[in-house]
Amino acid sequence: MSEAAQLTGAVEAAQLRETIARLRQSLVSFPGAMRVADSLGSAFARWRERTLPERRAALARIAASSGWSLGLLDESIDALLAPFTRDALESFASKITTRHRLGGFIMPANVAGAGMHELVVALISGVSAIVKTSNRARGIFHEFAHTLREIDLRVGGMLEVVTFSRERRDLSDLMQRECDFIVALGEDASLASLGGPARIFGFGSRVSGALISLTAPSNLTSLAAAIALDVTLFEQQGCLSPHHIFVEDTGGGSAREFALVLAGALDSLAAVLTTTKLSLHTAASIRRIRERARWREIGGRGVELHEDAAMVWTVVFDPSARFMLSPGHRCVTVTPIRDPADFELKLAPVKGRLEAFALAAARHSRAIYLDVLAGAGVTYVCDPGSMQSPPLMWPHGGGAFLDFVSTHS
């Protein structure tokens, strides 16, 4: 496929068949895992430079379609790129047993660069990849493929990026018939239609949260700033964005104070990382959360609502809430917990759907809370402020795909 076709997203069935055939042929001359890792390392090093033309072009395209500010996108993409160091890539390459397969990657429209972990480990493991992006999300993968081809044409030849809408079922079906496996990211509803002979690895709707368990949290301000950043990046749209923050606090005072400090941190961050105009659907969802909290506060339920006038951020302190899902766009709930058993009970509504948790815990309680999080299905635990940068070997969605590419099977 020509580079012009890639960048415009113009693809038809004949072009897609030609692309698939070329990628199949590229499997014959796999350059080796270490060379792929080295070339990817060079590409990511370039992409960390905010002035890189490909990066600027990609982010401008995303900003135009999403309305997100370039400042927010730059910070979000920096967090996305952080795990892909040359050392991490080459370490993975040194341990991998390569197996040459053709993989199809269906990337989501709501989070720029989501799916990069899966794509990178697949390329190093010997996979030639065809990446499908939506009309709303052209940018990161198209431009990154261009950078990779500039660095190493042979390695870059293992990757092709195409764009077509979900209505083109003929093209989706063609990918599923011709690829050895499919990696699909997106909401559960968008994955329901996938089928066919290829093995499917679906990463559906998953959520994340945060927990503070400190005997005397004197650093509430720095913790709040770190969690505010986790909430703000990618406008809280991805599976790694926290929806609900829990604070171990038998009396409720520390959790209440943290909600207030977090509100201030979100307000300060909003002045630097500006947001976009909300869709009517999202605005209505946030309005419902605010009004429900307001009426419960009036009704003496111990609820406190912190909000800005422009609906940029919302913090609800709710002393009795179990895990609450957020509509995104910097809307979070803060709840005190008594102990690990209470925490486990409050996670019950999302057990099996949790992806990541930021954890700030005293040494004596950390191991116990890690056990609770593991039992709830959490795949990534990190310090506050690091949620959007999971390591290269992150077992996303439980690790089935990582196991698939990391073993000769």
- Cα–Cα distance, 115 to 105 (Å, whole number): 8
pLDDT value for 2: 42
* 6 band by pLDDT with thresholds 50, 70 and 90: very low
pLDDT digits over 257-300, tens only? 999 999 999 999 999 998 877 889 999 999 999 999 999 999 99
CATH of domain 207-382: 3.40.309.10
pLDDT digits over 43-70, tens only? 999 999 999 999 999 999 999 888 889 9
pTM exceeds cut of 0.95: no
pLDDT value for 164: 84
| Pair of tokens at residue 87 | 């050392």
Write down the domain spans for the chain. 3-205, 207-382
- In CATH, 3-205 is 3.40.605.10: yes
- Cα–Cα distance, 341 to 363 (Å, whole number): 18
Same fold yes or no, 3-205 and 207-382: no
Neighbours of 225 (CB within 10 A): 19
pLDDT digits over 67-104, tens only? 889 999 999 999 999 999 999 999 999 999 999 999 99
